Amino acid sequence: MKYMNKSIEELHELLKNKEVTSQELIKESLELSHKVQEEYNAFVTILDDAKGVEVTDNLLSGIPYGIKDNYSTKGILSTGSSNTLKDYVPFFTATAIENLTKSGAVPVNKTVLDEFGMGGTGTTGHTGIVKNPWDKTRMCAGSSAGSAASVAAGVYPYATGSDTGDSIRKPAAYCGIVGYKPTYGMISRYGLFPFASSLDHCGVLTRNVTDAAIVVDNMKGIDENDMTTWDSKNIHLKESLTGKVTGKKLCYIKELCDINMYKNPTKELKEHLENFQKSLEICRNLGIEVEEVSVDKTLLNALASVYVVISCAEATSNMSNLTGLIFGPRGEGKKWDEIMKDYRTKGFSPLIKRRFVIGSYVLQAQNKDRYFHNAQRVRRLLVDTWKNLFKKYDAVILPVGSGPAKPLDGSKDILDKDTVALEEHLQIGNFGGFPSITIPNGFIDGLPVALNITGNCYDDENVLNIAYAIESKMNYKNQIASEVNHD
Amino acid sequence: MTKYKALIGLEMHCEISETNTKAFSSAKNGSKTSNIDLPNSHIRPVDMAFPGTLPVINKEAVKKALMASIILNCKQPEYIYFERKNYYYPDLPKGFQITQETKPAPVGIYGELTYECKDKIKKVRVNNIHLEEDAASQDHLESSSVINYNRAGIPLLELVTEPDFHTADEAVAFLETMRSIYQYAEISEADSKKGQIRCDVNVSIMDEDLDESDPNNWGTKVEIKNINSFGGVRDAINYEIERQIELKEDGTYDQMEQQTRRWDEDTLSTIYMRGKVDAIDYKYFVEPNIPKIKLSKSWLEEIKKQIPILAPERKEKYIKDYGLTEYDAKIIVKEKAIADFYEETITKGANPKLASNWLTTNILGYLNKYDLNIKDIYLTPQMLVDLIKMIEDRKISTKQSKEILVKIIEDKKEPKTIVKDLGITQITDEAELLKIITEVIKENQHQVEQYKNQPRVLDYFIGQTMKKTRGKANPSLTSKLLKQELDKQ
């Protein structure tokens, strides 16, 4: 690896000074892609015919990157990691990707995700499981598993992701990198295969906060094809990274961060929460005020169910277009409904079918108020609670998950009731459409762990700047995964 | 029917044909040209629900829907939302239709409209009017079906009335009033021949002497789906009333469940589709990709001001300003295209009475005979003006003018060209005609003698003159000159 471990700005300097060509970068990235594919199974497609482009003043020009395979890319296989679209080649490109292309960015592969983003393990894509480059026996988390693994493994400086519950920010944490989803509507979703439209966000996985700012500066923008986008031309993420954070105020939530809240905490959880407190000390040393706040535990414990209800309901409807009649492999049968049923039965994994059943159930007339409408009410309560915090604090800082990446064998995959809220609180960022960024903040048993900073809508510059300042005082910036030894 | 009265409610679907693009897509709205367009030529990726596509609302469609809501005296909501109506069908590529349920409020609720039925003013309550998207159209062939996505996504207005109609005539009179409103407000051509209008009807009967304002007295509601013409609505209602009365007379009415039926045009009967228990659960929820839109008072005011002059006002104007009879004025305003045509001929200088006569008799007669729309024929207001002028100038006779009208339409030629081609210009020059008449009198001395006792022989002379001029002689001038010359003999 000569170049691909470098940051975007470093690569841009090299390109500008003609110390390396775009073509050379693409070549290296493609070679690394094949290697990483063999090791970790991170890609659906490697674009071997990718070519170098002219280098302009745009920081992204000429530099390779990866695209999560749920972004529609014209003329390039786009599967959503699902058998239902295993041969689907779109004839239009997602706006966010179009924007990157205009910046001169060069895609070199399409990365594996949990089928249509509906999973958090990176194990349910139709091309098989994605392994964590820090430890092959562990998961990357999902759904942006391939993007996280390849950025962590140093295939390129960044890959796009999408985030409906924590699909960018959790895999980033498990892979020791940065994951950022901006405010809802800052990046167009046109061309992103939908999971749950009111929760879906586009975003990016990088190895440092500056790169995340640069990439989203280039992805964002109002789009006539997505009514939920808004004009962000006055937001300049990269320029906002001053590192000046004195007087900023952060809060963390006692019910999630206090070890005494857990009946039988694991050793990992203890270390994770202790490590988090160390990060808070770093914040204080930066001149940031950090306070503990309390949030109703009942409300926090409801968030995971709220997410399941709303995301499954929207997903059931969003994926009703997958009939195999207009696109996708045609099912067998004499009549259209037989053809459609055959296609869906064969195409979807059991996990997705389970979610469709849940989604359908909660929307049925007799259940709708009890489940769907109640979930929306609790969503509103949670969002209001966070918005109240943002009146006093610049952002909420919390640990991501209950520890490092979980083993793939599932031995620790039993959901501990106690830690559900800690595992799932990133979903609040989706409920409110809040800007939210995960950065690595240490290691447990040689595996990376992370913290998350979530701020109020449209306050992306502030959130990124705080993350940038904290990152600068820690040693996890630009880290490349190196496999831990299991001896 | 003496013992029972029927309660009839309507759901009228009408495509908004007067927007450039579809309801939630930038594809062309081909509603007006659906009968001639190449199938699947007006499609954007969103119309076929390719993954990642998103709906984008057409503001013009919302505006037209709000205009309809205002005309129907409905209440407009503070915010506009859209909802997904989820169900699988091949004509619905997304697997759901974007529509508006009554909660949250659609573009209009709780309105009312007065309409005329057999010279009586009636009133109907409007439950709601909402904006949605049309589905694709399908043709079922012998062993396969073909789908045309041109129609998928065309804006559609669904109007739901309370069950305030008592007869098929009332229901149809209301539909005709609505068609006129849609046309005059430039919301839609409202042409059922192009499939722009489709109706669902619900019918129940109850004992005549009971109070219909109490829903407890109502009978069992039967809904009849997908009726594509006003004639069909009339027939379906009448059939269904009869059917339900028979059940009453048989004593089996109380066993009839609430149900959905369909109108079968081949057998002219309603056919059972499903009962209440099989009703589809559409799992409505708010469409997350369309943010709620706040309706400003100023925008609503602006739309209100833009409502064009509707049919009743035009009718009054024709009676007052152009001296038309109530009867003629009514015929002309019935279709906006006819009224527009009429006004243009007057603007271009035609005599209002003559233009009215032409339209209400010859032109409408022709259109009805061949089931045509005035916009689809070659005749323009200017041509009618020219035609009327030629008669006034005695260049052609009334009889000839009728033939010329048909030729204009069928040969697609200007009136002047036809007159020239046929050489049917009249001889209106007195001296020229006098010369011919003198010849005719000279050649028919026997008849001149007869004329002295039998004035009807004049017709013979007219005939001879016409024969000699090959019909070109102006009839009234010929008659006048012949009389004058014969009396001299």
Which is nearest to A29 in space by CA: A176, A151, A208? A151
* pTM score: 0.89
Domain ranges for chain B, please list them: 4-302, 311-422, 430-488
A265-to-A279, A303, A415, A420, B405 alpha-carbon distances in Å: 20, 21, 13, 13, 95
Share of chain A above pLDDT 70, in %: 98
Q: Which residues of B touch A314 (CB under 8 A)?
A: 285, 288
Mean pLDDT of B225-246: 95
Q: Could A320 and B86 be called an inter-chain contact, meaning their C-beta atoms sit closer than 8 Å? A: yes
Q: Which residues of B touch A191 (CB under 8 A)?
A: 52-53
Mean pLDDT rounded to a whole number for chain B: 92
Q: Phi, psi (5° rounding) for residue A445?
A: 50, 40
pLDDT at A222 over 80: yes
CB-CB contact of A195 with A180 (8 Å): no
The pLDDT, as a whole number, for residue B401 is 86
d(CA A83, CA A69): 13
Superfamily of domain A8-247+463-472: Amidase signature (AS) domain (3.90.1300.10)
CB-CB contact of A402 with A268 (8 Å): yes
Residue in chain A lying closest to B94 (CA): A321
Q: Could A326 and B88 be called an inter-chain contact, meaning their C-beta atoms sit closer than 8 Å? A: no
Share of chain B above pLDDT 90, in %: 69
Per CATH, domain B430-488 is 1.10.10.410: yes
Mean pLDDT of B65-72: 97
pLDDT at A413 over 60: no
Listed range (A205-214, A379-388, B111-120) with the worst mean pLDDT: B111-120
A462's tokens: 């502030």
CB-neighbour burial class of residue A201 (10 A; exposed 0-12, middle 13-18, buried 19+): buried
Domain ranges for chain A, please list them: 8-247+463-472
Structure confidence by residue, pLDDT tens digits, A255-304: 999 999 999 899 999 999 999 999 999 999 999 999 999 999 999 999 99
Residue-level length of chain A: 487
Chain A, chain B: beta-carbon pairs less than 8 Å apart: 98
A59's tokens: 């920081």
Q: Which residues of A touch B51 (CB under 8 A)?
A: 72, 78, 80, 85, 88, 90, 193-194, 321-322, 327
Q: Could B95 and A317 be called an inter-chain contact, meaning their C-beta atoms sit closer than 8 Å? A: yes
d(CA B271, CA B150): 30
pLDDT category at A457 given cuts 50, 70, 90 is very high
pLDDT at B2 over 70: no
Structure confidence by residue, pLDDT tens digits, B150-174: 999 999 999 999 999 999 999 999 9
For chain B, the farthest-separated pair of C-alpha atoms sits apart, in whole angstroms, at 96
> How many other C-beta atoms lie within 10 A of the C-beta of residue B202?
21
Strands (E), A218-271: 249-253
pLDDT at A485 over 70: no
Structure confidence by residue, pLDDT tens digits, B299-311: 999 999 999 999 9
Q: Could B90 and A224 be called an inter-chain contact, meaning their C-beta atoms sit closer than 8 Å? A: no
d(CA B483, CA B455): 9
Structure confidence by residue, pLDDT tens digits, B449-470: 888 888 888 888 888 888 888 7
pLDDT category at A411 given cuts 50, 70, 90 is low
pLDDT at A201 over 70: yes
Mean pLDDT of B265-288: 90
Strands (E), A112-269: 131-132, 135-139, 158-163, 178-181, 201-206, 249-253
pLDDT at A128 over 70: yes
Q: Which residues are B289's β-sheet partners?
A: none
pLDDT category at A486 given cuts 50, 70, 90 is low
Q: Could A90 and B52 be called an inter-chain contact, meaning their C-beta atoms sit closer than 8 Å? A: yes
Which residue in B48, B56, B290 is closest to A326 by CB distance?
B48
Q: Which residue has the tokens 């009968």?
A: B35
Outline where B30-137 has alpha helix (H). 59-71
A232 assigned to active site: no
pLDDT category at B182 given cuts 50, 70, 90 is very high
d(CA B370, CA B377): 11
Evaluated on CA atoms A124, A166, A309, A311, the torsion sign reads negative
Residue in chain B lying closest to A321 (CA): B94
B77-to-A278, B70, B107, B111, B130 alpha-carbon distances in Å: 53, 11, 6, 13, 11
Residue in chain B lying closest to A71 (CA): B52
B436-to-B470, B486, B488 alpha-carbon distances in Å: 12, 13, 16
Listed range (A215-229, A379-393, B136-150) with the worst mean pLDDT: B136-150
If DSSP codes are grouped into helix, strand and coil, which group holds residue B147?
A: strand
> How many other C-beta atoms lie within 10 A of the C-beta of residue B303?
19
The pLDDT, as a whole number, for residue A304 is 96
Q: Which residues of A touch B86 (CB under 8 A)?
A: 316-317, 320, 363
The pLDDT, as a whole number, for residue A255 is 97
Q: Given CB atoms, is B278 within the 8 Å cutoff of chain A?
A: no
Q: Phi, psi (5° rounding) for residue B130?
A: -135, 160
Residue in chain A lying closest to B92 (CA): A321
B52-to-A278, B94, B436 alpha-carbon distances in Å: 42, 11, 83
A102 assigned to active site: no
Q: Given CB atoms, is B94 within the 8 Å cutoff of chain A?
A: yes
The pLDDT, as a whole number, for residue A416 is 73
The pLDDT, as a whole number, for residue A415 is 60
Mean pLDDT of A25-50: 98
CA A210 to chain centre: 17
pLDDT at B424 over 80: no
B472's tokens: 């070109």
A436 assigned to active site: no
Write the single-letter amino acid at A211. Answer: D
Q: Given CB atoms, is B323 within the 8 Å cutoff of chain A?
A: no
Q: Nearest CA to CA, how far is A116 from chain B (Å)?
A: 11
Q: Nearest CA to CA, how far is B25 from chain A (Å)?
A: 9
Mean pLDDT rounded to a whole number for chain A: 96
CB-neighbour burial class of residue B365 (10 A; exposed 0-12, middle 13-18, buried 19+): exposed
Which residue in B52, B94, B288 is closest to A320 by CB distance?
B94
| Interface probe, candidates B43, B44, B50, chain A, greatest A C-beta count within 10 A | B50
